[in-house]
Amino acid sequence: MSGTSLDGVDAVLVDFGQAAPDLLQTHFSPYDAGLREQLLALHHPGHDELDCAARLSNRLSRLYAHATMDLLEKAGVPAQQVAAIGCHGQTIRHCPEAGKHYTIQLNNAALLAELTRITVIADFRSRDIAAGGQGAPLVPAFHHAVFRHAMHHRVIVNIGGIANITSLDPAKPVIGFDCGPGNLLMDAWCLRHTGRTYDKDGQWAASGRVIPALLDDLLSEDFFTRQPPKSTGRDLFNARWLESKLRGTEAPQDVQATLLQFTAITIAQAIQRYCPSAGEVYLCGGGAHNRVLLSRLIDNLPGRIVALTDRLGVAADWVEAFAFAWLAQQTLARKTGSLAEVTGAGGNRILGAIYPA
């Protein structure tokens, strides 16, 4: 998995041979600054996009291949024992709305299969969009399979670049949708003003003060009043969007404090509005480690358990990569991997394209 945060590649090795999937090994391969900048540039129209996208797809596939081999070496498992690689690719455009109906994840799955000699499953989102859905989020089906409880109403919150929630109410169908920015605006602002790729533990944000007028302006975005199913990404929430809200006189640390509060409020409001009976909220993704953000979520969700998915047996950093391993396993078994009630598609679909070894 390489997500909206653009920090690198999460790789996991999962055994689905038992009653409960077993996470055997994990590995992280970081992006270098140059690759990250090139990927960011492709989120907007520019010169010679097709050539740049094709070259980056090849480069990413080589990085995915190295991550795979490093993972298998750590696990002591030969490639011949691996049924498949589920590779999400790197999203650079996500436009499921009427009149566009497309999503683009950079990845040369054929090259990845050649380099690893392992079957590759890729392009998970396109089939759902073709069926009239958002193509995202796809992880709620995995959350339902792994984290649901027969009696307790749980909410799983993934805080990556974008934040999304999954409502696992034992008495109702699964609900899942993107609820707004997770880390991406905070990370971009932190990099610009401190040179660091993220605000460790939210310490820089904690040094500032929330700007009420700016917070209100951020919350006024139409996306937050739309009913699910809905998804979003850098196509909407990006540095240009943030700059359009600023006067230019704000202290950088105060903007960071406001962005953190913005993420906390949009997550909490989504839970309160669409999952009011939930008593347990479990966080995953990089943002789950932001201590100040965790504290704000606890404040905004009184009376609920708020903890990391580690408590449910899957470490917060590896849930999304685990999910795409599960989706690949569903594809191989010719089982559906999407939930139409989450994405808005015309029905559940078998996702992904298979590139045999």
Complete DSSP assignment for 26-62: EEEEEPPHHHHHHHHHTTS--TTHHHHHHHHHHHHHH
73 plus 104 within the same structural domain:
yes
Which helix (H) or strand (E) segment holds residue 9: the answer is strand 8-15
Q: Is residue 293 part of a domain?
A: yes
pLDDT band at 194 (very low <50, low <70, confident <90, very high): very high
Q: Is residue 100 part of a domain?
A: yes
44 plus 127 within the same structural domain:
yes
Pair of tokens at residue 348: 């559940």
Q: Is residue 3 part of a domain?
A: no
E-strand stretches of 183-327:
280-284, 305-308
Q: Is residue 2 part of a domain?
A: no
Domain span at residue 193?
139-316
157 plus 257 within the same structural domain:
yes
pLDDT digits (tens, 9 = 90+) for 293-318: 999 999 999 999 999 999 999 999 99
Buried b (16+ CB within 10 A) or exposed e, 148-174: beeeebbbbbbbbbbbbbbbbbeeeeb
Total domains in the chain come to: 2
Other CB atoms within 10 A of residue 302 CB: 8
Q: What is the mean pLDDT of residues 188-195?
A: 96
Q: What is the mean pLDDT of residues 51-67?
A: 98
> Do 134 and 154 meet the contact criterion of CB atoms below 8 Å apart?
no
Q: What is the mean pLDDT of residues 108-127?
A: 98
Q: Is residue 248 part of a domain?
A: yes
16 plus 119 within the same structural domain:
yes
Taking the C-alpha atoms of 213, 214, 218 and 221 in order, what is their torsion angle to the nearest 10 degrees?
50
151 plus 294 within the same structural domain:
yes
Q: Which of 235, 199, 216, 226 is nearest to 92 (CA)?
A: 235
336 plus 261 within the same structural domain:
no
Q: What is the mean pLDDT of residues 115-134?
A: 97
Q: Is residue 1 part of a domain?
A: no
The whole-number pLDDT of residue 44 equals 87
Q: What is the mean pLDDT of residues 61-71?
A: 98
The whole-number pLDDT of residue 122 equals 98
86 plus 131 within the same structural domain:
yes
Pair of tokens at residue 249: 């006189």
pLDDT at position 99 over 90: no
The whole-number pLDDT of residue 314 equals 96
pLDDT band at 132 (very low <50, low <70, confident <90, very high): very high
Axis-axis angle for helices 49-75, 33-41 (nearest 10): 140
178 plus 99 within the same structural domain:
no
pLDDT band at 18 (very low <50, low <70, confident <90, very high): confident
Chain centroid to CA 49: how far?
A: 24
How far does the chain reach from its first CA to its final CA, in angstroms? 20
pLDDT digits (tens, 9 = 90+) for 142-166: 999 999 999 999 999 999 999 999 9
161 plus 208 within the same structural domain:
yes
Q: Is residue 345 part of a domain?
A: yes
Average model confidence (pLDDT) across the chain = 96
177 plus 128 within the same structural domain:
no
Output the CA–CA distances (angstroms, integers) from residue 20 to 28, 76, 229, 272, in the order listed: 24, 21, 29, 31
Say what percent of the chain tops pLDDT 70. Answer: 100
Q: What is the CATH number of the domain that holds 188?
A: 3.30.420.40
The whole-number pLDDT of residue 98 equals 81
Q: What is the mean pLDDT of residues 97-118?
A: 95
The whole-number pLDDT of residue 337 equals 97
78 plus 226 within the same structural domain:
no
The whole-number pLDDT of residue 134 equals 96
Chain centroid to CA 68: how far?
A: 20
* Rounded Cα–Cα distance for residues 152 and 341 (Å): 20
The whole-number pLDDT of residue 294 equals 98
Q: Is residue 104 part of a domain?
A: yes
pLDDT digits (tens, 9 = 90+) for 238-289: 999 999 999 999 999 999 999 999 999 999 999 999 999 999 999 999 999 9
285 plus 271 within the same structural domain:
yes
> pTM of the full predicted structure?
0.95
Q: Which of 158, 156, 178 is nearest to 167 (CA)?
A: 156
